[in-house]
Structure 1
Amino acid sequence: MRIHIKQSVIISLAAFGLLAAVGATNAQNASAKSRVRVTSNVKLRTDGSTRNVAFTGKAGLYTKASSLKSAKKVATTITLKDLARSKKSTKNVRAYRVARTNKGKVYYKVVTFDGHYRGWIYGGRSKAVFAGGLKSYQTFQQGSLTNDMSNNTFQFANPGTANDNQTVTYKQPAWTQYKIGRQVTDSTPYATVNYKIDQAGTRTREGDQWVHIYATNGNSGADGWILYSGLKTASNNSPIADNAIRINLVDSATGSSITSVDYAKSGATKGATVGSNVNGAWKLDSNDSSAIQSQISAALSPLGYTGFTLTPGQIAAIAQGTFGSSVTISVVKPTINKAVRIVLTDPNGNVINSIDYTNANAVNGNQLEP
């Protein structure tokens, strides 16, 4: 009987030893995880434009370094991928703090420009380059000036207080730099000021055209960035060449001046009509019609008057004009979407009429299917 008791005791002690070993192992693992700690946490001080980043979708966003036990998830990798694909510059991201753990991992604290998402994200193992869940990102792409931008003088098309990117000016193109906003909140006092353009480019997400303007008369209070479509060409008071006709373009709805173009023709003489009267109808030569059409379209398109086509009435007005003088025509700013304008011309290239084919399921910018 005593032998049996001794054996039971020995077995129980052995079982106890196994449990103790398992407990010790778990304790060691927990202890190992608890030993992850932040060894540095500092504010980033490089120029803000070098700290614009985009999410890669390889790591989530947390309340603190994700390797710390108490870290809670702010946004999943799926959400961050959606933010990275956004077509709105409000979803641009700025990194502003960096931390390193004793395990050699680097984490960045980031915020979206609209402030909706803020937290820490894994950034690789080096502070020298963004990696892991982040990559460097250019929020704005600098471009070149077109001839119209370089040669013309501009005014605000619709002076006022609207914060719509095309009424007032901004210190930087809107939402391309963190917490840098409007240059002025009301452009009304600058309604008659003439401006020149010295820079141009596009926002990376939207792809829209922005320009930087400066006053030609020293009234520089509103100098800044604005959508190109928010400007109109100032009245052109320069002399008209003897072999050119100036075509002034005004908005048909408001009657306000939009811009003007000078169409010059080699060999033309001052006072000669641009077109000819055929059986009581004024016509343009097909070459003149095509060239004028292209020139006006190029001037109007950046200002939001896309898809311009000369109408019979506009052709007649220009054809009756004389070289060395000017003529004014009204144009309509398009309001339709998901449409294709079909232009009908005669054998000489003169426009007869135009119709708009619409498709509710179409995507703007896509071609019609063959």
Structure 2
Amino acid sequence: MRSILAKSLYVGLAALSLGGVANSVIAPTTANAASKAKIVSKVSLGKDGQNVQLTGKNAIYTKPGTVNGAKRVVSKAKAKNLAASKRSADYFRAYHMALTNRGTVYYKVVSMNGKYRGYIYGGRVQKAFTGGVQEATTTHKATMPTRTTGFHLRNVNKNTLWTAPKNTEYKAHRVSLYGLNKNDTFKVSKAVTKSKEGTLYYYVTAESDSSISGWIYAGEGYKDATTTEFGGLTVNVADQAATNDNSVTIQYRDAKTKAEVAKATWTTADKKTVAGQAVNDAKNASGQTLTDVLKSKLPSGYRAQSDTTIADAVKGASYGNTVYVDIMAAATSKISMAVGNVMNTVSAAPSDGKAPKADATTAVDVINPLKKGAKLTGKDVQMALSADAIKALTGEPTATVSSKLGVIAGGFTTGAKGLQTYKDKAGVEYHYEFSIDATSFTGDNWNKHFGDELKATFTAQLVLGKGTGTTTGDNSWQA
């Protein structure tokens, strides 16, 4: 019996010993399996190189991450920060592709500012840009200015041109301005906004030398004849000296007390006028009529007493005289936009058949979808507000906006197109379309006064197709 027991104990101890050995070699064996991954092909993407942004799901390595010797360049945590960045410098360019014997795709990428470079996991489908990266649209078309010629560089030593808006293309660089002088003029042929920052750029060409052209920061852009400087551009116009024979004095006065609030002068560009002559539709050096100047020179914090105040003031205006404009204190509200409901559904499958058949009740699993409460800006959505709605944002500071909420809510674009592109795991492209939640708009802002920030929430509906569109021209109403 003792002999049998001893043999049993011996066999048991042997088994435990073998088990301990087995456990000690499992991790090294797994590590060796990982180290056996190798690159089976490499190819330059060439003209198929793509502007991308990180998704934050994968780190960046000196080699494809599963290949022996790969060292981490950007951690997953840092990749998440770069994915959420609002700086164009944190976009990347995918310019090389590597395939491993495991069927995985890696892209070699470099950040637009050249700070980070390495390989990142890109899924299992070549040129699909999934996994750690997704395609990026670094700029969006913007509204062209109403004037497109006769612009100057504000400072030829400082306000330079770029081959692309800075950090929207890898290796975008300054354009040589050799031979240019401060009096040379430029014409505008394109306008874009940078997707991350929302800043406006114009593509300009020297009117005296078409070889000098490029993109320049345009600030808030050219708006009307009152604009003289914007970004790196300027319009140099000067009136002739004002005299009794060529000018009109403008006096803005409080509508109740008739006390003077501010004064201005309008001077015609015509050099043959005399005192007492009717102004009519004459223009100044900037191309502005007397009416234009009356509107543009309204003192800050005031508005015309009525819709006909300015028209009444200019009737019968003549050179050498004064026109009076009655004004009232006013405040203007701005509107912040946010996502309310998010509908991640689509109504039809694309013609290429890559997406599953779907109807309006079928959910789509897009990567990094919009979240309820997310803030929206002009870089996210092609949202416009009607002229009547913009006008309704201004009123007496002590008055509530409640009576104007219906007009404002009705002025938003219905089904406004989103500018950002989203993808599902199969690489199918989608965008959102946005519609105002009028009921919430009324409830959220009922007790707000003119001058207070108003809140607008929108339903975001997922739609098949890449996000495209042009940013709105007048976004002065956006908070």
Does residue 314 of structure 1 match 2:271? no
Report the counterpart of residue 63 of structure 1 in structure 2.
62
Q: Give the whole-Å Cα distance in 1 for the aligned partners of 2:121 and 2:140.
A: 27
- How many Å separate the matches in 2 of 1:187 and 1:346? 53
- Asked if 1:174 corresponds to 2:166, the answer is yes
Q: In 1, Cα distance between the equivalents of 2:246 and 2:103?
A: 80
In structure 2, C-alpha distance between the alignment counterparts of 1:30 and 1:232, rounded to whole Å: 61
Contact persistence 2:247–2:267 (CA under 8 A): no
Task: Using the TM superposition, give the Cα deviation of residue 153 of structure 1 relative to its aligned residue in structure 2, in angstroms.
Answer: 2.2
Q: 1:220 and 1:257, CA in 2 relative to 1: closer, same or farther beyond 3 A?
A: closer
What is the identity, as a one-letter code, of the residue corresponding to 1:194? T
Q: What is the aligned partner in structure 2 of residue 227 from structure 1?
A: 217
The equivalent residue for 2:44 is 43
Which of 155, 159, 166 is the matching residue for 1:159?
Answer: 155
Distance (whole Å) between structure 2 residues aligned to residue 118 and residue 72 of structure 1: 12
In the other structure, the counterpart of 1:236 is none
Q: Structure 2 counterpart of 1:141, which letter?
A: H
Kindly name which structure, 1 or 2, has the bigger radius of gyration based on alpha carbons: 1
The alignment status of 1:368 with 2:452, answered yes or no, reads: yes
Shift of 1:28: 4.1
Query: May I ask how many residue pairs the two structures share in their alignment?
Result: 287
When structure 1 is superposed on structure 2, of 68-77 and 33-42 the one drifting more is 68-77
Residues 1:204 and 2:163 are matched in the alignment: no
The secondary structure found in structure 2 opposite 1:41 is: strand
In structure 1, distance between residues paired with 2:156 and 2:69: 50
Mark the CA change 1:159 to 1:14 in structure 2 (over 3 Å): closer, same or farther.
closer
Paired amino acid for 2:44? K
Unaligned runs of 5+ in 2: 240-244, 253-260, 269-275, 287-298, 311-324, 333-376, 379-450, 455-479
Give matches, 1:111-260, under 5 Å. Answer: 111-149=110-148, 152-156=149-153, 158-162=154-158, 167-184=159-176, 186=177, 189-217=180-208, 219-229=209-219, 258=236
Q: Which amino acid aligns with 1:174?
A: K
* 1:160-219 per-position Cα deviation (integer Å, ceiling 9, x unaligned): 322xxxx111122222111121112x57833212222111211112212211122333x2
Structure 2: which amino acid aligns with 1:228?
Answer: A
Output the amino acid matched with 2:200: Q
In structure 1, how many angstroms separate the alpha carbons of the residues matched to 2:227 and 2:8?
108
Q: 1:37-76 CA distances to partner (integer Å, 9 max, x unpaired)? A: 222233321254xx10011112222333222354333333
Question: What letter matches 1:40 in structure 2?
Answer: S
Answering whether residue 302 of structure 2 is matched by residue 343 of structure 1, we say: yes
SS of corresponding position for 1:126: coil
Residues of 2 paired with 1:321 and 1:94: CA distance? Answer: 62
The one-letter amino acid of 1:313's match is K
> Structure 1 residues 351 and 80, CA, compared in 2 at 3 Å: closer, same or farther?
farther
Q: Where does residue 82 of structure 1 map in the other structure? A: 81
Q: Report the Cα distance in structure 1 between the residues aligned to 2:88 and 2:123, rounded to whole angstroms.
A: 25
Quick one: which amino acid aligns to residue 182 of structure 2? A
Distance in 2 of aligned mates of 1:210 and 1:17: 71
State percent identity of aligned pairs: 27
Q: Distance in 1 between matches of 2:40 and 2:222?
A: 56
Task: Give the number of the structure whose residues are more often helix, by fraction.
Answer: 1
- Give the TM-score of the pair, scaled to structure 1: 0.62
- Distance in 2 between residues matched to 1:231 and 1:126, nearest whole Å: 42
Change in Cα spacing, 1:369 to 1:212, as seen in structure 2 (3 Å) is closer
Check whether the contact 2:160–2:175 (CA below 8 A) recurs between aligned residues.
yes
Deviation at 1:123, TM superposition (A): 0.7
Give the residue type in structure 1 aligned to 2:84. Answer: R
Offset of 1:282 from its aligned partner?
4.9
Code of the residue aligned with 2:186 in structure 1: it is Y
What SS does the corresponding residue of 1:79 show, helix, strand or coil? helix
Q: In structure 1, give the amino acid aligned to 2:35.
A: S
Distance in 2 between residues matched to 1:13 and 1:88, nearest whole Å? 63
Q: Summarize the Cα distance change of 1:168–1:351 in structure 2 as closer, same or farther, 3 Å threshold.
A: farther
SS in 1 for 2:301: strand
CA apart distance, 1:2: 10
Please give the secondary structure, in 2, of the residue aligned with 1:46: helix
Deviation at 1:23, TM superposition (A): 4.8
